Amino acid sequence: MGSSGAERAAKRVFLAALCSVCQALQGGMLFPTESASREVKDASGLWRFRADLSPERSRGFEQQWYRRPLAETGPVIDMPVPSSFNDITQDAKIRDFIGWVWYEKDVWVPARWIQDRGTRIVLRVGSAHYYSVLWVNGVKVTEHVGGHLPFEADISGVLRQTSGSACRITIAVNNTLTLETLPPGTIQYMNDRSRYPAGYFVQNTNFDFFNYAGIHRSVLLYTTPKAHIDDITVETTFSDNIGLVSFNVSVLGSSKPAVKVTLSAQDGRCVASADGSRGVLKVTDVNLWWPYLMHENPAYLYSMEVQATAEDGQTDVYTLAVGIRTVKVTSTQFLINNKPFYFHGVNKHEDADVINIFRQKVSETCFSTGNRYVLFFLTSHLKLFNYARDLGAPYVDVICVNSYLSWYHDPGHTELISLQLNTQFDDWYGKYQKPIIQSEYGADAVPGLHSDPPMMFTEEYQTTVLQNYHNVFDQKRKEFVIGELIWNFADFMTTQTITRVVGNKKGIFTRQRQPKAGAFLLRERYWRIANETGVLPTWTRYPCL
């Protein structure tokens, strides 16, 4: 039988999403670092802040708040950057605000940056949720969609055209979620005037975390020469004791740059060098990069220095840390340097009482949450989504599965976990013959709540759920299960609902990072798994949390 129209449409969505993410990841955006040719100035700290509380949230644009100091437009408060604005104040209107918020800060730019027209000045925002518009001295320089990736703009021309060396940075950020955003949401206007005032609306979402918003990463100013290194692509492999480092350097602003690449060991010795924008470095007696506890000298990094000299003699220098390793996937294993690797760790929200930043997991699902998509690892190590598992699974190397047996399914019946989890794994592997990671599992536990025999929401119930999962993991990792990620590292805030009492309690730590019983269970398990490598130091047998 041919595929249905819905299936064909779903396939087009999947492939279009893959292409769009691949395109988004093309190009430069090297992380700003200082070198002989580059300087970095951190503009983080206290910024002036104002939420646009007008009914349509559009007053800031209508009155062009970016054209003058923000304090002249109305009342402002101090707001730390980076942070989420929601929990900084005691004002419920700010905590729950949906719409445009405005940030502003004056930054003094070194005069030599502006005077030297061979210097390129770049403004970079590490993350702002979710839609941002950026002005410098009242001039719009860029806008950006999506809160999970950085964005930047060359502001050299703006600074040299405006008087003085002050740099007034204005950023408008909108956290409204729609069906076109990631994650998605909808805005619902309440039109019953007997119950709601005119213009009253709510943000509807279908995810289990609080919609924290604001400027969530540092704001940096940095310089490069006009002819500069835009991107560096590195691929590594090895054969016997010879490491091979393939490199490809992209340079902008010069048609025929002279490129030199040097690789140094941790003691500073030069171990390989080459001329040209692309090539292969050969490293004798290579020190491979290994995960912690898979080798007595883990995480070994070489230093790759790239120099690009333009026709006018101007040189740009960028240094990149490089680990030499291989990663391969078979039908049953994940191999690092040809040795099996077992993933064991946690999912994590960047969420705490003091500073709340955007949601992040070990396996990020920002593309999938709220849509009930399935998360996969791709050959190219990109993470993507699809709403039909049968459409996505053929394209991936490793399948990640989330399940909450005896919690969302058959709550209270931990005796069913073994049967249902074994069935889950066998069904997935039987159909696709690919290794599997249990990317989410767990149960809520209210700290200090106890019951014998265990009952839901007690610490004992959480540990019972974990133990039952672990028993199956230990059986299946001898076959095709290659990893486990507990949901969640720590309790985290959610939207106020009748199903959550001050947040989600699936953490093995509290929101204040105090351990529950499950944390001790996982500590013992993870160290036992790590000790199977045979390189665990004896003094770490009973490590502290």
Whether 39-224 shares its CATH topology with 226-325 is answered no
E strand residue ranges, 256-348: 258-264, 270-275, 278-284, 302-309, 315-322, 327-329, 334-336, 339-340, 343-346
| 313 residue type, one letter | G
The pLDDT of residue 178 is above 50 = yes
Distance from C-alpha of 108 to C-alpha of 387, rounded to nearest angstrom = 48
* Mean pLDDT computed over every residue of the chain: 88
Nearest of 70, 77, 76, 83 to residue 44 by alpha carbon: 83
Backbone torsions φ then ψ of 222, nearest 5 degrees:
-145, 160
Answer whether CATH 3.30.420.10 is correct for domain 226-325: no
pTM of the entire structure?
0.85
pLDDT at position 417: 98
Exposure string over 370-392, b if 16+ CB within 10 A, otherwise e: bbebbbbbbeeeebbbbeeeebb
The pLDDT of residue 379 is above 90 = no
Torsion from C-alpha of 16, 21, 24, 28, nearest 10 degrees: -140
The pLDDT of residue 367 is above 50 = no
Radius of gyration of the CA atoms of the chain, in A? 26
Helices (H), 59-216: 59-62, 92-95, 111-115, 156-161
Nearest of 50, 48, 52 to residue 61 by alpha carbon: 52
Range 39-224: architecture per CATH: Sandwich (2.60)
- The DSSP result for 399-419, as a single string, is EEEE--BTTTBSTT-GGGHHH
Distance from C-alpha of 269 to C-alpha of 246, rounded to nearest angstrom = 19
Per domain, the residue ranges of the chain are 39-224, 226-325, 330-533
Q: Provide the percentage of residues in the chain whose pLDDT is more than 70.
A: 85
Angle at alpha carbon of residue 208, lines to 351 and 445, rounded to 5° = 75
pLDDT at position 350: 85
Peptide bond into 488 cis (omega under 30): yes
CATH class of 330-533: alpha beta
Give the β-pairing of 201-204 and 40-42.
Answer: unpaired
Residue 273's beta-bridge partner residues? 262
Q: pLDDT (tens digit, 9 = 90+) per residue, 402-431?
A: 999 999 999 999 999 999 999 999 999 999
Distance from C-alpha of 509 to C-alpha of 445, rounded to nearest angstrom = 10
pLDDT at position 7: 45
Joined together, the tokens standing for residue 439 give 């990317």
Nearest of 358, 403, 65, 64 to residue 214 by alpha carbon: 358
